[in-house]
Structure 1
Amino acid sequence: MDVELRHLRAFAAVADSRSFTAASRQLLITQPALTRTIQQLEAILEVKLLDRTSRSVELTEPGRTFRARVQTLLRDLDLACAELRGERDLRIGFSWALPDPWVSDVITAFEEATGISGRLLRRDDITTALESGDVDVAFVRHSIDDEDVATLTLFEEPRVAAVSSRSPLAERNTLSWNELGQYPVVVNTRSGSTTPKLWPLGRRPAQTIECDNYDEWITLVAANRGVGATPLSASATHAHAGVVFIPMNDAPPVPLRLAWRWQRNSALLRRFVELTTEQGQPSRF
């Protein structure tokens, strides 16, 4: 038996996720079938590629070397197929402010590496956009509770307070996280990064004002309906004349993640994830 493409894809999926459960979901096959495929590959090559226990999956030394070769081979093959199919863009969703110029650098690197256009699309409901196929991948700052969605944390950035320019707090140079929780807090329940659970028990805000998107959130803060918290990058890219952003040294950081559906794990998406990871976090964080 010769090595087949299905063997390589199975190995790559397990090697990347370090999980037979996640890999089988990604490949849309059962775990027993995936296990047999990996065993066939190891028998053909006459080498052990993976060390598997009941709790973990690790690459052997030959497995690590083979993984690097397989990733390059599959990437080149998938991109060649994408070109033949006439795929011209990757749709990248987001709900609100992204770090810039970091995100521009990521998209430029992707376009130069693949010849494919990266299209940024703003969507308030990222989960629905991913499910419908409206976007292929998305930048998110909130948790997505869906077992069909894979997420990867790229980096964390500082969180700053947001207060109305009419509030006495606007004169402050710094605020503490617990102090911020003493005021009514405006919460973007659909795509926001701040929830009352981030405060310790006994320090959680007594009142929250809920909204559905970033525009409503910043408008409510500007109207002095409550205070808020947002990533540092948002304070630079989405300023508002009626809002003052104040540093907080003790606030929990905000993770920026990539999210995509396992079933739509295309060649272009995998290349985008790879390049985004290589980009690292913005230097100013």
Structure 2
Amino acid sequence: MDLNLRQVRAFVSVVQAGSFTRAAALLNLSQPALTVQIQRLEEMLDARLIDRTSRTVAPTRIGRELLPVFQKVLRDLDAVVIETRDLAAQRYGIVRIATLPSFAASSLSEAIALFRTDHPRVTFVIKDVIAQRVLDLVRSEEVDLGIVGGDVCDSEISVLHRTSDNLHVVYPCDHPISVLPSITVEALATYPLVLMDPATSVRTVVDLAFMGAGRLPIVACEATYMMTAVGMVRAGLGLTILPGSAREIRAEPELRSRPIDDPRFERSVCLIKREGRTMPTAAEAFCTLLSGLIVHPAG
């Protein structure tokens, strides 16, 4: 059945107005055109819906039964149109992001706060996970955007913007490494290290840097989360290597951090989305703001 919404709206308008003349004016139609709409609806349903005399217009019994159904259809349709327009105007919506934990607690949270000053009805769903999980979530379209460490070479992933993040060594304030004029891979290789999980982007950078220097790290412990690594440093288990953007490196007053003086300890950070997919309007707008705060155009 090809039910025409113009015909439904015509029927509801005539019944509510109690007059073909008033309904035609409301719908900006001529009375003959409005009459045709009603007739076609009745022909489609094979039932008379309106009784019309020279003085009165009233729905038939079937018309009275259909009226609330048709009114609900029109209300639901109008609500969808309004909601779609609101989404397009970024008045509200949901932005879903998978991100490295180091950005979730720093640049990302600041970007969200700034965005919501102009878009208070936009909400965010944040999944702070390790690098491989970010890629999985973007690839499966469970999120609109991803912030991931390391270079991305995946035909299913589009890199929107790219920046870099220097790695720092985190150590107790009285540790001997604090007096060195510079932090090198040779210096790091002489002390026990609390390294991040092998599935993290930070660990990939650290492993490649040590390998490139022909050195092996002394691994005391491994941790998935940065605060865990910081806690192990505080307990004296070793030094750790974390991104300079991570707020965890400033969370403990008795700990210090310094950038590592070796370009190999630099992590690429990419803002990504699923290749060939159109993001929701709110996510598109937030991406523009975010790229200006934490990353530069890829190139």
Task: Name the TM-score, length of structure 2 as normaliser.
Answer: 0.53
- Can you list the C-alpha shifts for 1:233-277, whole angstroms capped at 9, x where unaligned? 225775235632123333433333213222654133333333323
Report 1:1-285 matches (<5 A). Answer: 80=85, 82-83=87-88, 88-98=93-103, 102-108=107-113, 110-111=115-116, 116-124=122-130, 125-131=133-139, 133-143=141-151, 146-165=154-173, 167-170=175-178, 172=180, 174-185=182-193, 186-193=195-202, 194-199=205-210, 201-208=212-219, 209-235=221-247, 238-241=250-253, 243-251=255-263, 252-262=265-275, 264-268=277-281, 269-279=283-293
Offset, 1:225: 3.2
Cα distance in 2, alignment partners of residues 271 and 118 from structure 1: 13
- Check the 8 A contact 2:90/2:122 in 1, yes or no: no
Letter in 1 for 2:167: R
- Check the 8 A contact 1:93/1:120 in 2, yes or no: yes
Q: Which runs of 5+ in 2 are unaligned?
A: 1-83
Identity across the alignment (%): 15
- Check the 8 A contact 1:138/1:259 in 2, yes or no: yes
Q: Which runs of 5+ in 1 are unaligned?
A: 1-78
Q: What is the Cα-based RMSD across aligned positions, in Å?
A: 3.8
Offset, 1:197: 0.6
Cα distance in 2, alignment partners of residues 238 and 259 from structure 1: 28
Rg larger in structure: 2
Count of matched residue positions in the alignment of Structure 1 and Structure 2: 204
